[in-house]
Amino acid sequence: MIRNGKNSAGAVLKMLAGAATAALVLAAPSFADAPQAAPADTRPPNKKDAVPALPGQNRAPLAASGVEVKSKVIAKGLQEPWAIARLPGSGYLVTERTGKLLLITPEGTRSEVTGVPEVDARGQGGLMDISLAPDFSATREIYLTFSEPRGQGTNGTSLARARLSVDGSRLEALEVVFRQLPAWASPLHYGSNIEWDAEGYLYLTLGERSLPATRVLSQDRSTHLGKVVRLTRSGAPAPGNPFLNDAGAKPEVWSMGHRNVQGAAIHPSTGKLWTIEHGPRGGDELNIPRAGGNYGWPIITYGIDYPGGPIGEGVTARAGLEQPVYYWDPVIAPGDMTFYRGSLFPWKDDLLIAGLSGALVRLELSGEKVVGEERLARDIGRIRDVLEDQDGSLLIVTDEKDGVLARLTPG
């Protein structure tokens, strides 16, 4: 093939007089013939007709860092742990999807924190994310997301705040500050991840509840389904939100057209929100949601429906709809993610993603482009959350009936 390419380019060259034109003709075949570096995942895609809209948008070259990741269990027997928050000093708060909040010491001693809200733990619901307020050291305020029973079999993602008692044994003054609307009778696609911006407002990512009737509401800005919202600490729409003056929109909405966003992180240099969402079969997406941006679901997607057919018209791009920075097919099933800032691993500024498909996914970035990918810690289980500890080691939880909180260090 390469030889034929050169021959045909050469033949064309002879017929051309201009040197500039010749250079163009030469460049084209040599680029096309360049061998593609192998990606981290070489399995065929589910959506066979998908063509990336942007260069480097999927299957980045495998970036082998040569690091062996060692895992040490801190606590085991956890009931589908969902999220970890690191307390100042020492100790970790860990949510269990089934409805408990645990305080776990670095040595693995655990105690239950009482006073959590009642959750609807059917399907994917339950107690989900946990985040300390930026001024936790002074206020002891924490934020929790959970699937809240809303009556008549319906539920929805809600955000509560509370104070953690000084002895860490209970939540005090718990108050629900935001409710995703409308509520729905669905056990699926709740989101949800809390991130704080530099101004002290919080982003909350929300799912579209999965059903055919709710999926389309990702495109309806008068609902909170399939949205990222941006809130004040008391749950009001944050100043500067894009639809504050739009009578047909929920004022909390920051971005729309999302599917099920369970992970988010603030970029340490730019301060921008990055999110990661589950696609259907194929089409997990990394996005950098801008104010008012529409991220396309379910009109455009790089995935297919679970039974095998197309989603909607089966298209991957449309004018006015934002493209993901990067996508996966087959999926990694992303939980939460974090930008690595430490020096214990040689991964400074890389994006580390908890993969429920059973890997820690590392992305090397150049600005806002993904330039390399590696799959690590493949023998641990369904990784739901990843968090950097003070010493640069990583904390993970595995979303299993006998889940673990574990520390990852270089082997």
Active site residues: 189
From candidates 80, 252, 336, 364, binder to Ca ion by CB under 5 A: 336
Fill in the DSSP letter of residue 108.
Answer: -
The count of chain residues that interact with Ca ion, using the rule CB under 5 A, is: 6
Q: Which is closer to Ca ion, CB of 264 or CB of 396?
A: 264
Residue 237 tokens, joined: 């729409």
The yes or no reply on residue 347 touching Ca ion (CB under 5 A) is no
The 3-state secondary structure of 232-291, one letter per residue: CCCCCECCCCCCCCCCCCCCCEEEECCCEEEEEEECCCCCCEEEEEECCECCEEEECCCC
- Candidates 100-108, 137-145, 215-223, 293-301; binding stretch for Ca ion (CB under 5 A): 293-301
CB of 269 to Ca ion, least distance (A): 17
- Candidates 16-24, 86-94, 336-344, 367-375; binding stretch for Ca ion (CB under 5 A): 336-344
Q: Which is closer to Ca ion, CB of 97 or CB of 150?
A: 97
Q: Which is closer to Ca ion, CB of 285 or CB of 350?
A: 285
Contact track, Ca ion, 182-201, x by CB under 5 A? -----------x--------
Q: Which is closer to Ca ion, CB of 47 or CB of 150?
A: 47
- Candidates 62-70, 84-92, 264-272, 401-409; binding stretch for Ca ion (CB under 5 A): 264-272
Fill in the DSSP letter of residue 216.
Answer: G
CB of 19 to Ca ion, least distance (A): 44
Backbone φ and ψ for 33, nearest 5 degrees, come out as -85, -10
CB of 101 to Ca ion, least distance (A): 17
Contact track, Ca ion, 39-78, x by CB under 5 A? ----------------------------------------
CB of 331 to Ca ion, least distance (A): 14
Q: What type of residue sits at position 136?
A: F
Q: To the nearest 10°, the Cα dihedral for 161, 166, 168, 170?
A: -50
Site for Ca ion in 18-37 (CB under 5 A): none
Tell me how far apart the alpha carbons of residues 112 and 347 are, in angstroms, rounded to a whole number: 34
Contacting residues for 4 by C-beta, under 8 A, at least 6 apart = none
CB of 305 to Ca ion, least distance (A): 15
Q: Which is closer to Ca ion, CB of 153 or CB of 312?
A: 312
Tell me how far apart the alpha carbons of residues 244 and 290 are, in angstroms, rounded to a whole number: 15
From candidates 146, 203, 243, 295, binder to Ca ion by CB under 5 A: 295
Distances (CA, A) of 106 to 92, 96, 109, 172: 7, 18, 8, 24
CB of 323 to Ca ion, least distance (A): 7
Contacting residues for 217 by C-beta, under 8 A, at least 6 apart = 208, 209, 223, 225, 226
Tell me how far apart the alpha carbons of residues 334 and 354 are, in angstroms, rounded to a whole number: 6
The residue whose two tokens read 């949601």 is 289
Q: Which is closer to Ca ion, CB of 74 or CB of 264?
A: 264
Q: Which is closer to Ca ion, CB of 149 or CB of 279?
A: 279
Residues in the chain: 411
Site for Ca ion in 273-292 (CB under 5 A): 285
Tell me how far apart the alpha carbons of residues 26 and 30 are, in angstroms, rounded to a whole number: 7
Dihedral angle sign, alpha carbons of residues 247, 253, 255, 258: negative
From candidates 126, 235, 296, 355, binder to Ca ion by CB under 5 A: 296
Tell me how far apart the alpha carbons of residues 337 and 360 are, in angstroms, rounded to a whole number: 9
CB of 147 to Ca ion, least distance (A): 18
Binding region for Ca ion (CB under 5 A): 193, 264, 285, 295-296, 336
